[in-house]
Structure 1
């Protein structure tokens, strides 16, 4: 393979990664640059390349075992719904679509209320889907609604439309969407407050979680709204402030030095700026075979917990995945957990094959997030 072909192939890998976490417009820019550099034939359209990169069917992990190759999610048709994994627990509640509008714009969202809910104050978990997903897909893959039945909490799923991002990615890498009082953070916080206003919610037990681009936006939310969210769960995501445009987004996804420099700048910014110092518990999941978002981002998410105490434990999930479970406590007494899953791809650990981007080999990220959340109410 010539050096030119090697460079072009590397650019296509970059485009695929951006397609999954940023959207086709950003991927197209990388392809256009690669075509210019390689001297590709006239009439070769970047849009055609982007279309070819899009999955034809929902990617999901094999229900019979791990994915064929680490770092890759298999592409296969959706499977028939399976019974809930907890005896006697089904999604028997109400799953309805709502609409929110404010000065920052408008978004639809879905709200799950567990069966038997009679108005008593319950915790609220806000779930932010990944690229190409929607609320129904994310709910099916994470099985969070079944956990809501088991433990008794509400679940809100804000929906990113294609008009905001053609791949339905949350725009975690845009400066206007990293601000407390504008853009997508204002919309997501507004949805959260609307649910709290319309339903009895325990204000000390409101949490946010997400996958990939949704995980990166969950990191933004807990940083920009620490008075609203008691803790955050981030799966295969990136730290707040790790990117401000397309090149820095790609660098952050690769785990480059530019991302580290941007993060350091964000960490030292005055509190009056868009990013504030982390002050809430975090539970982070990341596969060390993630070919889309480099595993170093998991470590960076927990940078402010360094200097305190930590302990590591090597374990194996029921599905056969080995993982390192790290428990940390910051010098200020704030807890965090890091689940480093060995050989795992860019997919929700322990998820159901009914949804996309899941790895049913475990460990069960949803159950562990709920456990962590319920143990950490809002603290001053």
Structure 2
């Protein structure tokens, strides 16, 4: 299975379907041409509402393969919700020719070692300095390749992000490819991971996450993870592997399933007391699960 034989058709719609009724933002998406703080050439786009909160929360909304910052802006409700709640939204734009994110190289997976992940972190720092963003309230979300990057950011930069919401991704480190090359259409690719065949113990996944920021002893971002049972691009077993990974990082166990939550056909999987890790299995949903922006804001503690 090659990336674009399976992703191009499905992921092109990933950011264009959301569970909440779409509402256009009051203002435009702005390219931040002054941002030059690499290390990669990912572009920074930002939405700052007219009525921005003092010390505004920051949401990093990360597009899918074949997508762009503009597509994720126009295909989701984060910006319109920013008009209501006063937070800042950063929309990174992938530097790869196919629009995918580097979630496979040692640099991007590891704290302070480069890659797209460090470029996105530098965008957050830019927003704190130049737009009045609150460094203590930074969150990440994304679909497909953007979901993968959300997991990568949570693992490599837990000191930056407070929570993540993942739509149809894979575990942090699942796509690792030795010597992966950035700037290509597909910056590293793992058939076994995409097919849901990278099966590890919870301890092994947790150890992998911890290895990406050696010596870090602080807390990790709380995680909310969505996946469809009919996903044939990043297959459904990746949900279980993500839940195993983060449950080990948090040191918590599965507690219960809640059917019909947040809607018919979905099952909520609660770990611990549900404040650090929850999963959502979407029956019959393919790649990717529609964005549930209102749930994201609640998970982030913004609304």
TM category (shorter chain) comes to 0.7 to 0.9
1:171 aligned residue: 102
Q: Residue 132 of structure 1 is aligned with which of 57, 62, 66?
A: 66
Q: Using the TM superposition, give the Cα deviation of residue 244 of structure 1 relative to its aligned residue in structure 2, in angstroms.
A: 1.9
Q: Indicate whether 1:110 and 2:45 are aligned.
A: yes
**Residues 59 and 89 in structure 2, CA contact (< 8 A), matched pair in contact too:** yes
- 147-156 or 333-342: bigger deviation: 333-342
Q: Indicate whether 1:239 and 2:239 are aligned.
A: no
1:328 aligned residue: 271
- TM-score normalised by L of structure 2: 0.81
**Residues 16 and 72 in structure 2, CA contact (< 8 A), matched pair in contact too:** no
- CA–CA distance in 1 between the matches of 2:73 and 2:5? 24
- CA–CA distance in 2 between the matches of 1:374 and 1:314? 23
**Residues 12 and 66 in structure 2, CA contact (< 8 A), matched pair in contact too:** no
Q: Indicate whether 1:346 and 2:301 are aligned.
A: no
2:183 aligned residue: none
Q: Looking at CA atoms only, which structure, 1 or 2, has the larger radius of gyration?
A: 1
Q: Using the TM superposition, give the Cα deviation of residue 367 of structure 1 relative to its aligned residue in structure 2, in angstroms.
A: 1.5
- CA–CA distance in 2 between the matches of 1:61 and 1:249? 23
Q: Using the TM superposition, give the Cα deviation of residue 56 of structure 1 relative to its aligned residue in structure 2, in angstroms.
A: 12
Q: Using the TM superposition, give the Cα deviation of residue 329 of structure 1 relative to its aligned residue in structure 2, in angstroms.
A: 2.6
Number of aligned residue pairs: 286
After superposition, the Cα gap between the structure-2 partners of 1:225 and 1:267, relative to the gap in structure 1 and judged at 3 Å, is: closer
1:145 aligned residue: 79
1:249 aligned residue: 190
1:369 aligned residue: 296
Query: What stretches of structure 1 of length at least 5 have no aligned partner?
Result: 1-13, 21-53, 67-83, 352-364
After superposition, the Cα gap between the structure-2 partners of 1:269 and 1:177, relative to the gap in structure 1 and judged at 3 Å, is: closer
- TM-score normalised by L of structure 1: 0.66
* Aligned residue runs from structure 1 range 209-358, under 5 A: 209-245=141-177, 249-257=190-198, 263=205, 266-267=208-209, 269=211, 271-272=213-214, 279-303=220-244, 304-305=246-247, 307-308=252-253, 310-315=255-260, 321-329=264-272, 335-349=276-290, 351=291
- CA–CA distance in 2 between the matches of 1:95 and 1:183? 24
